[in-house]
Structure 1
Amino acid sequence: MADKMDMYYFSPTGGTKKVSSIFAAALGRDVVWHNLGSKQTISGKPQGELAVVAAPVFGGRIPSVVREKIKKLDGKGKKAVTIAVYGNRAYEDALLELNDILIESGFTVIASAAFVAQHSIVPEVGAGRPDFEDEKEIRAFAEAVQRSTAAENVHVPGNHPYKPEMNVAVTPISLPSCMACGVCEKVCPTAAIAQEDGKMVTDAEKCILCMACITACPQQARVLPPPLLQKTENMLAAFKTVRNKNEVFF
């Protein structure tokens, strides 16, 4: 394989970027980084012979912002690797969805992986991951990709039709301590946040509950509504003491 690769990633809270960075360093190539969370247009033509697409798992699917952007990539004659980063619960149809889109775009998906990172809403789930043991597995996956001579699409778990997308019933809210500095608006990947009459307002139809605004807020003035946070914590309580595994496919 050539020495250059394109890394397409979406990492609203940092977990996917960390996994991607470990993988890229272990692969030892010249990396062209493409942030799928940026509002800027992503180039449709990868520069290298290998493209890597890394995305977090939202309710067993890939986020809509990732789906719409990678559909525009031109993969003719290119190989690809897919990475789903999940919050210690399950990745369900996310890898299959990623692979289906890239194959439809002309890529040959030679390898895929699902790696665990700390949950974006309930940090006690998958706390501290990817940790040292995860890093070893991510590096081993990268080294195996580097050695790979595969020329056919890899098979991954998942179902057709995909499970329904996560329903975003409510959005993050701003506390009275909000200074309306605009950081949340700047980092929102779907342009769901706007300033109106000196307050930050969120469009529920555009919000994908990625948590980027909460993570980026310098005043810690963006939070989930308490009922939603409590519901999510209750739903994921059983996963706080479970160490789910990473999985790789060639």
Structure 2
Amino acid sequence: MEVKRICAAYWSATGNTDKTVNTIAETLAEKLGVPLERRNFTRPSDRAEDLSFTGGDLVVFGMPTYAGKLPNKMLPYVQQQIHGNGALAVGVVTFGNRSYDNSLAELCAALEADGFHTVAGGAFACRHAFTDALADGRPDWDDKRQMGEFAARIADKVKDLTDIPAPVAVPGDAAAPYYVPKGTDGQPVKFLKAKPQTDLGKCTDCGACARLCPMGAINPSNVAEVPGTCIKCQRCVRKCTKHAKYFDDPAFLSHVAMLEQNFTEPKENEVYL
């Protein structure tokens, strides 16, 4: 099976899945001597049309882990508008140093159902979207070294393929329920309705948060209003250069504090071929 093109396809709210996928894809393109193309479907406008690949493609497909699985608001797009058409795929998930739980299993199962042939899978620890106290600075130079080694092993594997490979075996249950967030008291917390607040003393009304929101949830005419669905991805918080966006929901903050109390020990990356 000849690979003619590497494709990096990803949803990345705060940028770490982007870094991870592209590090792997760039190494693959170099090792295999083929061109690299990127497909970033983070913003709503990027998902306006279906995304299709071909039998000569090797697609590095990346998503972050949200509550132990794929972001539930993005899953329909992955399931319904991504078409593998026989392409090879590497499933990649990132996670914020707690656990990737079942996200990699869910992603690989979705890719197989979309018409891809999965040849590898990997889960990589990155700075948590909610707090810098978990995996701050990751992916770091050692993570990127591991990503490069992973890519080199994938390149060696696909060079030797003569037939359609069996789906890569990864841990987890694609059909498992989402992880239930807990607060500092160990009890479940609910913050589905939490939305970002705006410090009007810092906000310059540049509109970047509204333009960048993966859900298109922020009102571009008044960025202090969030009439749409917020998935707590923290993109508006992370991308605001004036630090004007923040969350003050008590249940959300209790969950963040619980993470900071219990999950600061660095987690290892895991790869499967």
TM score, norm. by length of structure 2: 0.83
The one of 207, 211, 229 aligned to 1:182: 207
The one of 18, 30, 37 aligned to 1:32: 37
Q: CA deviation at 1:62?
A: 1.0
The match for 2:98 is 89
Q: CA deviation at 1:115?
A: 0.6
Contact 1:118 1:129 in 2 (8 A): yes
TM score, norm. by length of structure 1: 0.90
After alignment, is 37-46 or 121-130 more displaced? 37-46
Aligned length in residues: 247
2:224 counterpart SS class: strand
Q: CA deviation at 1:195?
A: 4.2
Q: CA deviation at 1:10?
A: 1.4
Change (3 A) 1:22 1:57: same
Q: CA deviation at 1:39?
A: 2.0
The match for 2:167 is 153
Contact 1:65 1:189 in 2 (8 A): no
Deviations 1:9-34 (A, max 9, x none): 11111111111222122112422111
Q: Percent identity?
A: 26
Change (3 A) 1:22 1:100: same
The one of 190, 195, 201 aligned to 1:171: 195
The match for 1:162 is 176
The match for 2:183 is none
Change (3 A) 1:160 1:50: closer
Matched residue type, 1:20: V
1:69 counterpart SS class: helix
Matched residue type, 1:190: M
Q: CA deviation at 1:161?
A: 2.7
Q: CA deviation at 1:231?
A: 3.2
Contact 1:34 1:42 in 2 (8 A): no
1:142 counterpart SS class: helix
Structure 2 CA distance, aligned partners of 1:44 and 1:120?
26
The match for 2:217 is 192
The one of 115, 126, 140 aligned to 2:135: 126
Structure 2 CA distance, aligned partners of 1:78 and 1:88?
31
Alignment of 1:1-250 (within 5 A): 1-27=2-28, 28=30, 29-40=34-45, 41-46=48-53, 48-71=56-79, 72-149=81-158, 151-164=165-178, 168-177=192-201, 178-195=203-220, 198-203=222-227, 206-225=229-248, 227=250, 228-240=252-264, 242-250=265-273
Contact 1:37 1:65 in 2 (8 A): no
1:112 counterpart SS class: strand
Considering only aligned residues, what root-mean-square deviation do their CA atoms show, in Å? 2.0
Contact 2:6 2:60 in 1 (8 A): yes
Change (3 A) 1:42 1:143: farther
Unaligned runs of 5+ in 2: 181-190
Contact 2:8 2:22 in 1 (8 A): no
Unaligned runs of 5+ in 1: none
Contact 1:36 1:42 in 2 (8 A): no
